[in-house]
Amino acid sequence: MTYIANPDRYKTMEYRRCGNSGLKLPALSLGLWHNFGHIDSFENARTILQTAFDNGITHFDLANNYGPPAGSAEENFGKIFKQDFIPYRDELIISTKAGWGMWEGPYGDWGSKKYLVASLDQSLKRMGLEYVDIFYHHRPDPETPLEETMGTLDLMVRQGKALYVGISSYEAEDAKKAFEILKELGTPCLIHQPRYSMLDRWIENDLLNVLEESQVGCIPFSPLAQGLLTNKYLKGIPSGSRASSNRGNGAIDEDQISEEKLKKVLQLNELAQERGQNLAQMALAWILKDQRISSVLVGVSKAEQLLDSIACLKNYSFTNDELERIENILRN
């Protein structure tokens, strides 16, 4: 059946300018980290992507190693893109990354020019694209000179394989150096993708200030702490959750879910209910209240979860009392 996008898809989504660029991103973007591999339902993945676009989510975020197996999320996305989204290519922001282990040998990991060039070529082939909108270096490489890695990102833009470039999981000092190198090369860094949630606030120490000073966008991943900031764990660890299945590739492990964390989650849930939201909606709203955030990456296993997440946009303002309560809960 031919997919025709919802004609009203842009009426309710909010779009935020990304750093010092002309690009706007939807307040929520769809991450394909989980649930889009060959072990997952293809039709379910297709429904999620259609639902996202029908509701104004124009940004789909991938990486070379997403799956499992590695590469399969890009392959499945490529098939769905060919079926449904070719007519809408110019309305989409498609991103991918390289920096984690992808193939055997010394050239399939980290941040060398050899690896990054080959990886993006492979990603474009898997997705059936001529270019990606954003190409990220997925994590810092302690052994490759930063000039080599950033120079390769610049090269990918000059070769027309990417429109913009970004970095992911860099701490403040290295991020600042990367921004300076890219600026000198003439390809400013568009965006940084760090891990960030109510329960994981490391970027507040220095990184958010560096991003603001450098006029670089911010798109957090794992905003729900791998599902911990949802209703899923209010009564313990359910069967079929990421914690119980322990699928790896960054999924949360049971030993990461302490009694202390569960107690905080229960208290946060009480406040969310008072605000007329569920816990996940409040956790997303709490991140979006900061205007330095360009977009938030959400991952879902079914379309209904995505619609639920989008509802966070109805209220992402907090009173001072609510913010103080949240701080007290997280501190104690």
Residues 244-262 have a mean pLDDT of 64
The confidence score (pLDDT) of residue 247 equals 46
Arch. (CATH architecture) of 15-227+281-315: Alpha-Beta Barrel (3.20)
Q: Is 26 a residue whose pLDDT tops 90? A: yes
Q: Is 25 a residue whose pLDDT tops 50? A: yes
Candidates 96, 17, 6, 21; CA nearest to 56 is 6
Rounded to whole angstroms, the Cα distance separating 138 from 33 reads 13
CB 57 within 8 A of CB 25: no
Candidates 181, 223, 160, 255; CA nearest to 29 is 223
Each residue of 265-277: pLDDT tens digit? Answer: 999 999 999 999 9
Each residue of 110-153: pLDDT tens digit? Answer: 999 999 999 999 999 999 999 999 999 999 999 999 999 999 99
In the chain, the percentage of residues whose pLDDT exceeds 90 is 90
The confidence score (pLDDT) of residue 249 equals 45
* Sign of the torsion formed by the C-alpha atoms of 115, 117, 121 and 123: positive
Q: Is 292 a residue whose pLDDT tops 80? A: yes
The confidence score (pLDDT) of residue 192 equals 99
Q: Over the chain, what is the mean pLDDT?
A: 95
Fill in the DSSP letter of residue 251: P
Rounded to whole angstroms, the Cα distance separating 206 from 218 reads 13
Q: Is 104 a residue whose pLDDT tops 60? A: yes
Each residue of 176-226: pLDDT tens digit? Answer: 999 999 999 999 999 999 999 999 999 999 999 999 999 999 999 999 999
> Structural domain boundaries of the chain?
15-227+281-315
